[in-house]
A and B are shown apart, each in its own frame.
Chain A
Amino acid sequence: MAESVVGAHADEAPDQDRRDFIHIAAMAAAVGGVAAVAWPLIDQMNPSADTLALSSIEYDVDKVPLGQQVVLLYRKQPLFVRHRTPQEIAEAVAGDHADLRDPATDASRVKPGKAEWLVLIGVCTHLGCTPGFDGGNLAPGHYGGWLCPCHGSVYDTSGRIRRGPAPLNLAVPDYVFETDTKIKVG
């Protein structure tokens, strides 16, 4: 390089230039620009506006016989609508005082005065399988609710996690009773 050096700054090696403020500013601007470009490229992977707009369903819970449940498709996932028997409700309320992993009262998981209707998102909070109904099984280690076939998480008649690897209760979605028997989920 030396032979082509002209001017007064011959003592400065080109290497030192890189530490100049102007280079740092240009590099910072480049990094900032790349970061700004990255956002739209990531944001486009979020659900699109038409997907988000299609996210509520209505259902007439009167169609579910006592002691049965109906599985609906809600946001591409199973939604349990269970018509609980008085015995199931009693078991659920009794469980309020047990040693719960994810404490919640049964009353907080249903709508006031509608304790017979339990609406749950049917996705195990462990790794996402759909739990099957445990058929009122009250043998030791069972709580009469749901049993996940994948890794044996056991839920009670309020959908609360009682045993197994799942960390949280089955989720209760946002829903309202639009009429006495018609629910709107989402």
Chain B
Amino acid sequence: MLRKVLALAAVVGAIAAPAFAATSSLEPKVQSWSFNGPFGMYDQGQLQRGFKVYEQVCSACHSMNYVAFHDLGEPGGPWWNPKYPNSNDNPWVKAIAAGWPRQVSTINSDTGDETHRPPTTADVLVPPFPNDAAARASNGGALPPDMSLLVSARDGGPNYVYSIVTGFAAPPAGLDVPPGKYYNPYFPGDVTANWHGTGPTPPGGFISMPPPLTDCKVTFDDGTPCKLDQEAKDVAAFLQWASDPKMDQRKQLGLAVMIYLFLFSGLLYASYRRIWRHVAH
């Protein structure tokens, strides 16, 4: 039996080994997260702080087209409250939707003209730009990626987001940074063409996003000190939640399923031994 399990593990392990590519950027800085490990859950306070960072800073350029206001109050979300099982009734969620800085474009049903209305809890977090072309036009030709799945779409996940936001560095002497670009050693890219210094090419690439966060760019309502490091960690945690909003439920259900499966396997094994006890094999 053990042999089989080991063999299975070997097959899965050997084959699932990720294809490490020879990127020239630095490996993301690994942080400890509340959601690490099989029992790790989201820290609701951190999600609320992270949302504030997104709302006040990131959302100026980055859309979040798959996250709706009502998601913020679903189980596991930043404003989940058992008193409001229907998150559309959650007063915090309603207040966030009502206070959102952008309106939803709609059609006036009397005149057929295009008009705007305040967002409701059913709407997605209203994006800063109506379309990709407008987003590029306002950002020097670069498209700020949608943030709903940013963490799942990047190797390194929340560590990557944290590293990018905190990793902006002064370019080493001999590196020409193109206009409108910023040097970041954690951003995948290749700076060889702009390198005139001595020694090996520096790691990283040029990113179109200026350093988005500084100390106390966002102040926190719960009294957490507004350090850059804290802001970066909180927004990375919030984006992790946005990518994987059902993680808390998944791990909770997973625990129950694992307990059941172990008990069930034990019972079946006992049953198997009993049925086979007269058979020499």
Q: Does A touch B (CB under 8 Å) in the complex? A: yes
Which residues on A are within 8 Å of B, measured CB to CB?
1, 4-7, 9-10, 14, 17, 20, 22-23, 25-26, 29-30, 33, 36, 49-50, 52-54, 63
A30-B264, A49-B74 known; A22 and B270 CB under 8 Å? yes
Residues in B neighbouring A5, C-beta threshold 8 A: 278
Q: Quick check: A33 and B271 within 8 Å, CB to CB?
A: no
Q: Quick check: B275 and A14 within 8 Å, CB to CB?
A: yes
Q: How far is the CA of A38 from the CA of B51 in the complex (A)?
A: 36
User: Would you list which residues of chain B between 258 and 280 have a CB under 8 Å from chain A?
Assistant: 260, 263-264, 267-268, 270-271, 274-275, 277-280
A25-B267, A49-B74, A52-B88 known; A20 and B68 CB under 8 Å? no
Q: Does B10 contact A (CB under 8 A)?
A: no
Chain A, residue nearest B88 (CB): A53
Q: Which of A7, A26, A52, A54 contacts B271 (CB 8 A)?
A: A26
Q: Quick check: A17 and B275 within 8 Å, CB to CB?
A: yes
Q: Quick check: B122 and A33 within 8 Å, CB to CB?
A: no
Q: Quick check: B264 and A4 within 8 Å, CB to CB?
A: no
Q: Quick check: A53 and B68 within 8 Å, CB to CB?
A: yes
Minimum distance in angstroms from B143 CB to a CB of chain A? 25
Residues in A neighbouring B49, C-beta threshold 8 A: none
Q: 18 A-B contacts, Cβ less than 8 Å apart?
A: A1-B279, A5-B278, A9-B277, A10-B278, A14-B275, A20-B271, A22-B267, A22-B274, A23-B271, A23-B274, A23-B275, A26-B271, A36-B260, A49-B70, A49-B71, A53-B120, A54-B122, A63-B110
Q: Quick check: A26 and B267 within 8 Å, CB to CB?
A: yes
Q: Quick check: A6 and B278 within 8 Å, CB to CB?
A: yes
By size class, the interface of chain B is 20 to 34
Chain B, residue nearest A9 (CB): B278
Q: Which of A10, A20, A26, A50 contacts B122 (CB 8 A)?
A: A50
Q: Quick check: A4 and B280 within 8 Å, CB to CB?
A: yes
Q: Give the interface centre of A5, A6, A29 by most chain B CB atoms within 10 Å.
A: A29
Q: Quick check: A17 and B267 within 8 Å, CB to CB?
A: no
A22-B267, A22-B270, A26-B271 known; A53 and B278 CB under 8 Å? no
Q: Does B121 contact A (CB under 8 A)?
A: yes
User: Would you list which residues of chain B between 27 and 77 have a CB under 8 Å from chain A?
Assistant: 68, 70-71, 74
Q: Quick check: A50 and B274 within 8 Å, CB to CB?
A: no
Q: How far is the CA of A29 from the CA of B269 in the complex (A)?
A: 13
Which 10 A/B pairs are nearest by Cβ-Cβ distance? A53-B122, A26-B267, A26-B271, A54-B122, A53-B70, A29-B264, A22-B270, A5-B278, A23-B271, A22-B271
Q: What is the 8 Å Cβ interface bit string for chain B, positions 91-133, against chain A (1 contact, 0 not)?
A: 0000000000000000000100000000011100000000000
Q: Give the interface centre of B71, B122, B278, B280 by most chain A CB atoms within 10 Å.
A: B278
A26-B267, A29-B263, A50-B68 known; A4 and B274 CB under 8 Å? no
Residues in B neighbouring A36, C-beta threshold 8 A: 260
Minimum distance in angstroms from B258 CB to a CB of chain A? 13
Minimum distance in angstroms from B175 CB to a CB of chain A? 47
Chain B, residue nearest A37 (CB): B257
